[in-house]
Amino acid sequence: MSKEMKRLILLVVGVVILVVGIKLIQNYDKIGKQLREIGYSKEDSVKITSILSEEDVSKVLNMEYQEKLIPIIENNYFIPKNLEKYLDFKNKNNDKNVEDIIAIVNVKQNNDWYENTTNTDISKGNAMLVNKFHSLTEDFDPGEIVKISVQYAYDGHSTTNEVYEQYKKMWYAAKEENLTLIVNSSYRTYSEQEKTYKASGDEYAARPGFSEHQTGLALDIVTYNTIGNDFENKPEFTWLSNNAHLYGFILRFPKNKEYLTGFEYESWHYRYLGVDLATKVYESGLTYDEYYAYYCDYKNEC
């Protein structure tokens, strides 16, 4: 190719880039003007066009001015596909702050329990989410289930081998601090969960197919001579709160997070995720429902 031809090609490419750039600027100016006509400031208009896709900007242009739009799209856990749901929920719940609006919608708690449910993504393995909106099939296979020795649990409990091995490591670490852990509930089949649900109801038990115990990844851990949330007053609970993630476990249903998890506070219910993921969830300060919605589902980082 001759030098003249190369120069001509570069010139043509440069002209095309210039024309496209001018059109983009004109388009942004047009959109910015439309946003300002609705009521958004010039600064807000820049944020809207830089954060949202063209499709979502078009949705905003077809709405009335939304007072909380900017705080919503600037939130660390904003998920673009939920934009309209955030705004709809906000308009129906003006008393809610932006953080709660984002969290509630992300974990689907703006819906009634057991509505708009989906089958959980079991390909995520230990990271799979099971709650009142993500279910397991009746024939779900957790893999090999092993019996837990009565040294570590009340009689009759079982779990997956990986969970068992990590729990034993945690049990011995607690024992070095003169603390005693004991499992009082573990793996349950679909049919066993049916019985538990019938006895406890929606507030305190999951419907069959919607229980983490069916995964083989959940353990109810207490110490001797404790009933219910009395466990939170024991040194074993304090130790677990600070150390469970080091062995791959998280407290699944924390206090004052019922509106996000869908379950009452359970100081005894621990979910196995694996050390790396459990540590990330612990350090984030989020419930697993929140963490999964943003990092595992939206960003696909689990």
- pLDDT tens, 198-220? 998 876 789 999 999 999 999 99
Q: Is 182 helix (H, G, I), strand (E, B) or coil?
A: strand
Predicted pLDDT at 24: 40
Complete DSSP assignment for 33-90: HHHHHHT--HHHHHHHHHHS-HHHHHHHHTS---TTHHHHHHSTT--GGGHHHHHHHH
CA distance 266 to 294: 23
Question: In 3D, which of 173, 172, 166 has the Cα closest to residue 272?
Answer: 166
- Write the CA distances from 205 to 57, 202, 236, 269, integer angstroms: 42, 5, 24, 12
Per-residue pLDDT of the chain (302 residues; tens, 9 = 90+): 565 555 545 544 443 343 333 444 444 467 888 899 899 999 999 999 999 998 999 999 999 999 899 999 999 999 999 999 999 999 999 999 999 999 999 999 999 999 999 999 999 999 999 999 999 999 999 999 999 999 999 999 999 999 999 999 999 999 999 999 999 999 999 999 999 999 988 767 899 999 999 999 999 999 999 989 999 999 999 999 999 999 999 999 999 999 999 999 999 999 999 999 999 999 999 999 999 999 999 999 99
Q: What is the pTM of this model?
A: 0.89
* 24 φ, ψ (degrees, to nearest 5): -65, -45
* 202 φ, ψ (degrees, to nearest 5): -60, -35
Q: Which amino acid is at 299?
A: K
- pLDDT tens, 61-112? 999 999 899 999 999 999 999 999 999 999 999 999 999 999 999 999 999 9
With contact defined as beta carbons under 8 Å apart, do 267 and 237 qualify? yes
Predicted pLDDT at 10: 53
Predicted pLDDT at 17: 46
CA distance 118 to 121: 9
Domain range 118-298, its CATH number among 1.10.10.10, 3.40.640.10, 3.30.1380.10, 3.90.180.10: 3.30.1380.10
- Write the CA distances from 73 to 53, 122, 207, integer angstroms: 12, 30, 35
Alpha helices in 206-274 (DSSP H): 235-243, 258-261
Give 13: exposed, middle or buried? Use CB within 10 Å, 0-12, 13-18, 19+.
exposed
Question: In 3D, which of 105, 163, 64 has the Cα closest to residue 293?
Answer: 105
| Domain spans, the chain | 1-62, 66-106, 118-298
Predicted pLDDT at 23: 42
